[in-house]
Structure 1
Amino acid sequence: MQTDIRLGTFDLDASPPMGHPLCGGWITPVVGQDDPLRLRGIVLLGADDPIVIASLDWTGVLNESHRLWTERLAEAAGTSPDRVALHCVHQHNAPFVDLVGNRLLRESGADPLLFDERFVEGLMARSATAVAEAVRSADRVDLLGVGSAEVDRVACNRRVIGPDGKIKFTRTSATRDPEARAEPVGTIDPTLRSISFFRAGLPVARLYYYTTHPMSYYGDGRVSADFVGLARARRDADEAGTLHLYFTGCAGNVTAGKFNDGSPENRVVLTDRVYEAMAAADASAEDHPLDLLSWTTLPIRFDPREDLDLDRLLAVVKDPDAPTVDRNRSAMTCSWLMRLQAGRPILLGKLDTNASSVIHLPAETFVEYQLFAKSLSGEFPLAVAAYGDGGPWYIPLERSYGEGGYEPSVSWVSTMSEPMYKSKLEELILRS
């Protein structure tokens, strides 16, 4: 039994400057800001070396960028990089960073690049300073609250399959086609999970986990944490002095498209629905003495999608006549393939307490993997944070590639990855 578990918090503005590329450079760059992007996290002490868990309101942090950032935070916390979980929420009016991809574009004379390296380096430095301060100011927490609530009319499965077994509709974050919106919700996880750490009866940090693409609309160059960030901000206003963090689950094939036509006023509607679930999850939470804390990691090595060719993709990166989206996306794909050639795995993580577990997964994992993981956990509460290392982009099911649609076309992992990924999830969850 552990009796000296301490927690420190950090919270930074992660908003990009005017003119900065958004979502990898293929949508309108920053022209203004509706609300700030945040980098928030906690440092947990008392379970061997410190554990750092962070949530960033960006589209993605990939490959070498993710490695370098976790190393910086680990050094600041006095821990090892495998004990740092850095996740993106995945808003699209936000930065999308991949250091090797950026280098390939710069060497090819491309414009725009994926991101401004000086800006990102500055935020990395500030975040390391904030983590070091969180360690110094960490204080004992003694109670854990674990709650959940269903989110009403937000998430739907984006892949509507027709009678021929092929994609009939893809419901993007904003879907205007009434026929597509009329289709059933499909496979989702409707539950929002909250995990709260208390000190002397007061909440110090609340962590929320819900599974959907977090955009109501985007592409206009106006920075926003969108409806999940706005719901989180309302919880900030409810509980001054409590840090509220939000994590996106396995939302690779989940959006709000059934319930969202992309109109600005609908952002408010979606915000209300997520906020109400956050408040309900906290209100219904069961409290448990916090006397156990542990962290487990497991390496996973994906094979590349079978038809990807590094030389062909590099040629696209170097082609000045290729569309920006093709050059920039190809640069990210090249970065992933180079990483696989170097043999560096992705790390899956698991945070265990006496009252709940959280698993930490990469990229745009499909929701069926989350449901599989929760089935392994049984009645024991399990929360899921995806969008960690974003290198693989989408991680679909094996059948998804035959069904067609957008997601398999921008998945960089082998079409045969599903059994291996599920095996690793089982090993992670059942490991004591």
Structure 2
Amino acid sequence: MADLFDTPGETPPDSAPRPLADRLRPRSLSDVIGQEQVLGAEAPLGVMLGSGSLSSLVFWGPPGVGKTTIARLLADETDLHFVQISAIFSGVAELKKVFEEARHRRANGQGTLLFVDEIHRFNKAQQDSFLPHMEDGTILLVGATTENPSFELNAALLSRAQVLVLERLNLADLERLAQRAEGELGKPLPLDGPAREALLEMADGDGRALLNLIEQVTAWKVDGKLDAQALGARLMRRAAKYDKGGDEHYNLISALHKSVRGSDPDAALYWYARMLAGGEDPRYLARRITRMAVEDIGLADSHAQTICLHAWETYERLGSPEGELALAQAVIYLALAPKSNAGYAAFKAAMREAKKTGSEPPPRHILNAPTKLMKEQGYGAGYAYDHDAEDGFSGQNYFPEGVKRPVLYQPVERGFERELKKRLDYFSRLRTRRESS
């Protein structure tokens, strides 16, 4: 098949400049920016390399943080032959070929570091195919994934590989990378201070994305320096990384829920806004916010659930973006409301008690007796009508016969549950008095 540039009168563009990200690719692990928690002398990879006992690994982290680069440099550091495949484009046939070549290489005295990008895309059977070759030393596997390995990789593979978490580059890391890029380009970025900070923020922790943005900026013909507003007009801000069906979705809703529970309205609003900015369906947020009112506030503030339902209804009537403000106000109210999970805990305890006692029937004295036979069987016998009792409280037993009365609902001394606790204590004293008389 002819080369893409095999056209009469044309020559391949061998002199075309390499992308900045490729030109700045680290040549040793010491050149890698960030990831000290993995590469430091006392960190997992530092310890492995220091002891000469590198094992199979899974790199878990967002795009653009160095997973491929670190794998390639590990092969260089350990004199292993580097092979890279992608789980998106590779199948069983290619895996068999890779394993066969690795066996041949091993027979000739050289090991193989097999780097598998997007390893979570392989199904269980394909993941299992790595195991015997990892165990007999044919390959040293380094997988890379942006998804939670606990959910996406099978237990057998995880038991043979150490998971290392690579983190988003922070602003200091990105600034170092920008300075390195300026050195490579031989000129400073045409940006003032705030514009430079805005550029780093646009990268959203992704080093590769930052270098691509820098290439765009340095290609412009600019007189003087651009400010943040001019930069924003020329560059589309990168969309926040947010997978509505993936880990980020669950991480952010967890952050929102825990911020509400922790009575921090500013943090709660921030995570609420992050999810909206990522494209989350406000109806999902309305449902989860209402759940927070039920689970974490409960009867400590009986208005919380109502406010959430009203905010949800307001959103349904107004839609986006107007209705999102009603949900934001509900988030603020929940964060500042008194907290109690007593109702939630009581319900879970009741479910456990119900499963434990099985099909025990109610005591006969609280059963209706619409037929003569049922009356003869003792249905309704001895039932005390509470409205006729002193204090409107009979204190009789409502649990199955032989079941020890459990304490399920234990209100807290916060919000309206203070009043409910007073009532509970009041009825408890009356019950004790009735039982002793």
Larger Rg: 2
Under a length normalisation based on structure 1, what TM-score does the superposition of the two structures give? Answer: 0.17
Larger RCO (alpha carbons 8 Å, 6+ apart): 1
TM superposition score normalised by structure 2 = 0.17
Q: Which has the higher helix share?
A: 2
Greater strand content: 1
